[in-house]
């Protein structure tokens, strides 16, 4: 399958700015796209050539506002020269060095800087390359912690229905997205799930945290009664579940979950791959909700999406339990070829400097009320059955077409793209999470485009 790029460029008033020279005839066949209906996409491709600030530019020269910060990751906006320059300098100074038995200074520098903004007590950092790797790493650390602490029977991992924790077999096993699990028959043994918190009957069109549902945390007690607390290593949840349509925790839910984990000696893991680095108007959701887990997984915004990277933040209790025995022994038999890659560290440091200089880790707090009011202005439009918003993230839930779940959400997403807005759809739930540099006028523009699309798409 080929696309005639010359004809697409002629449709624009001026050629898009691009570094890579796109061939005049572009084949779409070789690239097997992730999480994409490939045949559907390649029949009507949506191709982006460049990006700057809040906008993408398509191959035919159209400006499209980025309403999803890439994939929840471009928090400081696109095309940041500071990050590009830092990457270039690092490539010429030290392009790669291993982290196994050898170190390089920038990794230690970056870890210290991350520890300085991390929630209190979570100041030990293990570097990964993605959110999926961060989750698998955190699960391994939890198991290793209990073994080192003399509780080797604690091997069971508890996830949550409708949770998303990446695509590794560990994250997929504790995850609760049905399609991700059904597609692959092999899962980790000894995994169970507590119930999700989505309660449309009681909480539809809530602003911020919904009032009802703290009791959903008590499902931990059911699994303790079923399996025995002495078998459970960790509970992992997203403070705000993003990939299943922005599910916001009910008031008191996370506090209750923390108390139950403490009661039964279970580690609590927050998956903050999406909520980390300012998405809720605080450095982490941990800060926002005032609940401190034992481990935090992160990625995405850690480098502004420029270079793949992730990190696990561990408490002193978890970390220090492994720092026993002979000093010559490896404490954790785990790691990646690209853990603490020097170029990723350089991108991360430059990103942190932008966040701090421009106040982006907390900027969302000043926009929260405006953002929520703007999102809730869509209430009453065709097929909208719920709106959920917190910080600078929002979910718009649509009613499903009979016998075609997800089709309406997909067609609204495509219509928005064609009229100048990128957003995410997860089935019939639409998700928005713009770069943290977003201005009120741009929020208004996103709402206008989305509102018009909801009126057009039946």
Confidence of residue 9 (pLDDT cuts 50, 70, 90): low
DSSP state of 31: -
Structure confidence at residue 184 (pLDDT)? 81
CA distance 224 to 369: 39
DSSP label at 302? G
Q: Where does 2-67+360-456 sit in CATH, by number?
A: 3.90.1150.10
pLDDT of residue 141: 98
**pLDDT tens digit sequence for 159-172:** 999 999 999 999 99
Class of domain 81-358: alpha beta
pLDDT tens for each residue of 55-95: 999 999 999 999 999 999 999 999 999 999 999 999 999 99
Q: State mean pLDDT over 97-111.
A: 97
pLDDT, residue 8, reads: 64
Helices 342-358 & 360-376 angle (0-180, nearest 10): 70
Phi, psi of 395 (to 5 degrees): -125, 130
Instruction: Say how far apart CA 160 and CA 197 lie, in whole Å.
Output: 9
Give the model confidence (pLDDT) of 10-37 as tens digits: 555 444 444 567 777 899 999 999 999 9
Specify the DSSP class assigned to residue 78.
Answer: B
Percent of the chain residues past pLDDT 70, beyond the cut:
96
The whole-angstrom separation of Cα 142 and Cα 132 is: 16
Q: Whose structure tokens read 């942190």?
A: 352
Task: Convert the pLDDT of each residue in 396-412 to its tens digit.
Answer: 999 999 999 999 999 99
Angle at 266 between CA 215 and CA 247, to 5 degrees: 40
Contact between residue 66 and residue 55 where contact means Cβ atoms under 8 Å apart: yes
| Confidence at residue 7, expressed as pLDDT on a 0 to 100 scale | 62
Instruction: Supply the pLDDT for residue 4.
Output: 73
Tokens found for residue 244: 């299943």
Q: What mean pLDDT, rounded, does the chain reach?
A: 95
Distance CA 83, CA 137 (A): 27
Of 250, 246, 283, 253, nearest in space to 268 by CA: 253
Residues 278 and 361: beta-carbon distance below 8 Å? yes
Pick the more confident residue, 2 or 49.
49
Contact yes or no for 160/171 (Cβ under 8 A): no
The domain segmentation of the chain, as residue ranges, is 2-67+360-456, 81-358
361 pLDDT band, cuts 50/70/90, is very high
Q: Which residues pair with 127 in a beta bridge?
A: 311
Q: How far apart are CA 240 and CA 291, in angstroms?
A: 13
pLDDT tier at 127 (50, 70, 90 boundaries)? very high
Residues 6+ apart with CB under 8 A from 105: none
Separate counts of helices (H) and strands (E) for the chain? 17, 17
CATH topology agreement for domains 2-67+360-456 and 81-358: no
- For residues 417-442, average pLDDT: 98
Q: Which residues make Cβ contacts (< 8 Å) with residue 182, sequence separation at least 6?
A: none
Average pLDDT rounded to a whole number, residues 372-395: 98
Q: Where are the beta strands (DSSP E) in 352-454?
A: 384-390, 393-398, 421-422, 424-426, 429-432
Confidence of residue 117 (pLDDT cuts 50, 70, 90): very high
């Amino acid at each position: 399958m080929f696309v005639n790029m010359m004809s697409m460029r002629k449709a624009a008033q001026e050629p898009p700015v691009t570094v890579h020279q796109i061939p005049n005839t572009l084949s779409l066949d070789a690239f097997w796209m992730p999480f994409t209906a490939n045949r559907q996409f390649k029949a009507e491709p949506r191709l982006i050539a460049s990006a700057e600030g809040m906008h993408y530019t398509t191959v035919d020269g159209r400006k499209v506002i980025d309403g999803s910060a890439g994939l929840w990751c471009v928090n400081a906006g696109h095309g940041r020269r500071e990050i590009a320059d830092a990457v270039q300098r690092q490539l010429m100074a030290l392009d790669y060095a291993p982290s196994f038995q050898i170190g390089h200074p920038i990794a230690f520098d970056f870890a210290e800087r991350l520890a300085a903004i991390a929630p209190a007590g979570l100041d030990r950092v293990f570097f990964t390359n993605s959110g999926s790797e961060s989750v698998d790493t955190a699960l391994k650390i939890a198991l290793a912690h209990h073994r080192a602490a003399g509780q080797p029977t604690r091997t069971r991992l508890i996830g949550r229905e409708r949770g998303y924790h990446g695509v590794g077999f560990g994250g997929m096993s504790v995850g609760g997205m049905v399609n991700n699990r059904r597609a692959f028959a092999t899962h980790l043994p000894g995994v169970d799930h507590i119930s999700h918190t989505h309660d449309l009957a009681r909480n539809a069109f809530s602003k911020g945290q919904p009032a009802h549902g703290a009791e959903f945390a008590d499902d931990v007690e059911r699994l303790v009664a079923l399996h025995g607390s002495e078998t459970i290593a960790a509970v992992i949840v997203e403070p705000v579940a993003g990939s299943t349509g922005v599910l916001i925790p009910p008031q008191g839910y996370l506090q209750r979950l923390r108390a139950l984990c403490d009661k039964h000696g279970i580690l609590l893991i927050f998956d903050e791959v999406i909520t980390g680095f300012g998405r809720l108007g605080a450095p982490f959701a941990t800060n926002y909700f005032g609940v401190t887990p034992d481990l935090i997984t992160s990625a995405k915004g850690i480098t502004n999406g420029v270079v793949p990277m992730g990190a696990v933040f561990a408490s002193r209790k978890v970390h220090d339990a492994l720092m026993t025995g002979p000093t010559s022994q490896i404490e954790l038999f785990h790691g990646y070829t690209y853990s603490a890659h020097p170029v990723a560290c350089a991108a991360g440091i430059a990103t942190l400097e932008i966040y701090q200089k421009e106040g982006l880790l907390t900027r969302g707090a000043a926009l929260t009320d405006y953002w929520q009011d703007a999102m809730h202005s869509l209430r009453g439009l065709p097929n909208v059955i719920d709106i959920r918003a917190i910080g600078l993230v929002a979910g718009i839930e649509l009613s499903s077409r009979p016998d075609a779940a997800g089709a309406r959400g997909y067609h609204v997403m495509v219509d928005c793209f064609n009229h100048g807005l990128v957003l995410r759809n997860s089935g019939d739930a639409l998700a928005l999470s713009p770069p943290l540099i977003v201005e009120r006028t741009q929020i208004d523009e996103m709402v206008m485009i989305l509102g018009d699309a909801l009126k057009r798409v039946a």
